[in-house]
A and B are shown apart, each in its own frame.
Chain A
Amino acid sequence: MLNNSGLLPSTSASFTLVVGYTAVEAVMPADSKRVRGPEESQSPLLFMPSTAQKAAGPEESRGDGRQRDQVDVRPVFARCGLVSQAKGSAYVEAGNTKLLCAVYGPREAERKDDTDMKAGRLVCDFRFAPFSCPKRGGWIQGSEERDAAQALQEALRPGLCLHRYPRSQIEVNVLVLEHDGSVLAHAVTCASMALADAGVEMYDVVLGCALRQDGESYLLDPTLAEESGGGGGGENRGSVTVALLPSLAQVSALQADGELREDSVNAAVRACMEGCHRLYPVVRRALVNAVRKRAAPPGDAHS
């Protein structure tokens, strides 16, 4: 700003700039930690031409080479034991969606009046990193994060043997590093891997899978563009997220949004269950590798 004053034709313009700056400083208590934009700024995304109309028609294939109407999940990279301070942790990457989960516990419950004598409590926290979504999010927990935390808790509870941890609480913290679609589904998978890595007793891992219904065809494990594209008009448009305990064939979470016909919902749930079964071997292998790495004696270089 001060450099530009030399280039400005009239000094009065630069003078107003300086006045404006000091006025703002006088009004706000000196908040030197955050650089906030001016009050009236808007995101540039509002002015970008909408790419929704260019969303794939029914015959076109998806952007990354996967097929419509097929149980085609993105290849998943899963690794346990990344956060050294946590009891258990897991990192999952599916396409561009990156999530990190850390589990602490079983610990003594914070709020003594909520202590349950017979079973433990599961506390979930879900955060989007501010740089994870196309539009910058704030650090204060928004309603979407609270809903996701609630959904995560409901999805994980049936899989855990909480009656083995009376009067304790287990904390699960999920951080989304990059949001490229089906975040809740992958968060469920990541969280249950972290719980298994932490040694919490479970009936089965809980795996999640999401689906986007687009008219007559469905897209399994949608990316962010596929999730938000094709909005507005059209019959039978919506998204479905399912969390499954594979070896018990029990559904622990189901969320369906958007106007969907009943047969589409049934087909979607079945497709998501199939998608979860596809993820199962990857998750099992990652957990086995983590256990082997932990159990390997110090002198042994091979895990």
Chain B
Amino acid sequence: MAAVQICEAEKVYIMHGVRDDLRVDGRGCEDYRHMEIETDVVSNTDGSARVKMGYTDILVGIKAEIGKPRPMVPDEGYLEFFVDCSANATPEFEGRGGEELGSEISSTLYKVFSNRNSLDMKALCIAPGEHCWVLYVDVLLLQCDGNLLDATSVAIKAALFSTRIPKVHISEDEEGTKELELSDDPYDCMRLEVEDVPCIVTLCKIGHRHVVDATLQEKACSMASLLISVTRKGTVTCIRKVGGGSLDPESIFEMTETGKRVGKALHAPLMKLLQEEEMLGKKKQKVGFLG
């Protein structure tokens, strides 16, 4: 992971601050940084979103293509994740340097989204056993400033919300060959239900306490982190412990409790914001990459 090197004195400073619920930038232990979300930033995609959290900058583009469904589940579509760590973020990511981090993030995303209740996969089916929609979710890390997974999951949720999949009409010939017709009207499209899509909360253990949304400096002080994926209702869909240190069982219970609380509180404002942005419609001012 793109990490900074900090000296022992800085580590002690951060740990003492966290112990007193005061972090370097003045936040409390359970506060997120200011988040900026914008959807529909890339016009070539079927859905896209950009999330800025501190200096962390994530861009997600979703493209829908027609493919063959998986043999074990013929009446469902599926998602394919690909995470690319851009060399703009750090020189370490140049060439194949960011591949390890990218594959780690994408395997976590696969695990989080493999839960059957997150996204209605049956809505992505066109003809059972023959055609289905495959959503290719491409995540681009433009800048890394800690807490990549949280920002990525928020960006994916926003991008899925803004995804417009064209409606498909199947017509059959006399010979029985099926033909797929996509409607020409750009507004005749299908939207996805993203109410139950979970958001990931990463909690880093620093000293005896844990912090949400750690910056790179705070990450360097922490030996172990817990990754929790929480839905809007507060159900926990995936828990992972990451990092090279070990955790006390009591800390795990406390961190799960905090993660659930923080994650649940993240969903309502996010959906409200996305719906407000949608309401603006043509009046929406595009901020883009220069804002």
**Chain A contacts to B: CB under 8 angstroms:** 42-43, 46, 143, 146-147, 150, 154, 157-159, 232, 245, 248-262, 265-266, 269-270, 273
As a 0/1 sequence over residues 247 to 270 of chain B, the CB contacts with chain A under 8 angstroms (1 = contact) are 111001100110010000000000
B201 to chain A, nearest CB (A): 13
Complex CA gap A146/B99 in Å reads: 13
CB distance from A179 to the nearest CB of B (A): 17
One of A46, A157, A253, A269 near B249 (C-beta < 8 A): A269
Report the minimum CB–CB distance from B233 to chain A (whole Å): 9
Selected from B104, B107, B114, B246, the residue in CB contact (under 8 A) with A245 is: B246
Flag whether B116 is at the interface (Cβ < 8 A). yes
Listed by A's residue number, 20 A-B pairs whose Cβ atoms lie within 8 Å are A146-B103, A147-B107, A154-B242, A157-B245, A159-B246, A249-B249, A250-B246, A251-B249, A253-B241, A257-B115, A257-B238, A258-B115, A258-B237, A260-B237, A261-B236, A262-B236, A262-B256, A266-B253, A269-B252, A270-B249
Chain A CB within 10 Å — which of B107, B237, B246 has the most?
B246
With a cutoff of 8 Å between Cβ atoms, the chain B residues found around residue A260 in the complex are: 235-237
- Minimum CB–CB distance for A76 against chain B, Å: 23
For A154, list chain B residues within 8 Å (CB).
241-244
Instruction: Given A251-B241, A262-B236, verify A42-B249 contact (CB < 8 Å).
Output: no
Closest CB in chain A relative to B137 CB, distance in Å: 16
Q: Which residue of the partner chain A has the closest CB to B72? A: A46
Question: What is the number of residues of chain B that contact chain A, defined by CB distance less than 8 Å?
Answer: 33
A248–B268 Cα distance when bound, in Å, is 41
B286 is an interface residue with CB less than 8 A from chain A: no
Chain A residues with CB under 8 Å of B226's CB are 254
B210-246: which residues lie under 8 A (CB-CB) from chain A? 226, 231, 235-246
Give complex CA distance A209, B217 in Å.
34
CB <8 Å contact, B246 and A265: no
B-chain residues with CB within 8 Å of residue A266 when the two chains form the complex = 253, 256
**Residue of B at shortest CB range from A255?**
B240
Give the chain B neighbours of A251 by CB distance below 8 A: 241, 246-249, 252
With a cutoff of 8 Å between Cβ atoms, the chain B residues found around residue A248 in the complex are: 246
Q: Which residues of B sit under 8 angstroms from A232, Cβ to Cβ?
A: 116
Instruction: State the CA gap A43–B71 with chains docked (Å).
Output: 9
Is B111 part of the binding interface, using a Cβ–Cβ cutoff of 8 Å? yes
Query: Does B275 count as interface, using CB distance less than 8 angstroms?
Result: no
A236 nearest in chain B by CB position: B235
Known contacts A46-B72, A254-B226: does B117 contact A259 (CB below 8 Å)?
yes
By a CB distance below 8 angstroms, the chain A residues around B104 are: 150
Q: Is the CB of B248 within 8 A of A249?
A: yes
Closest to A253 in B: B241
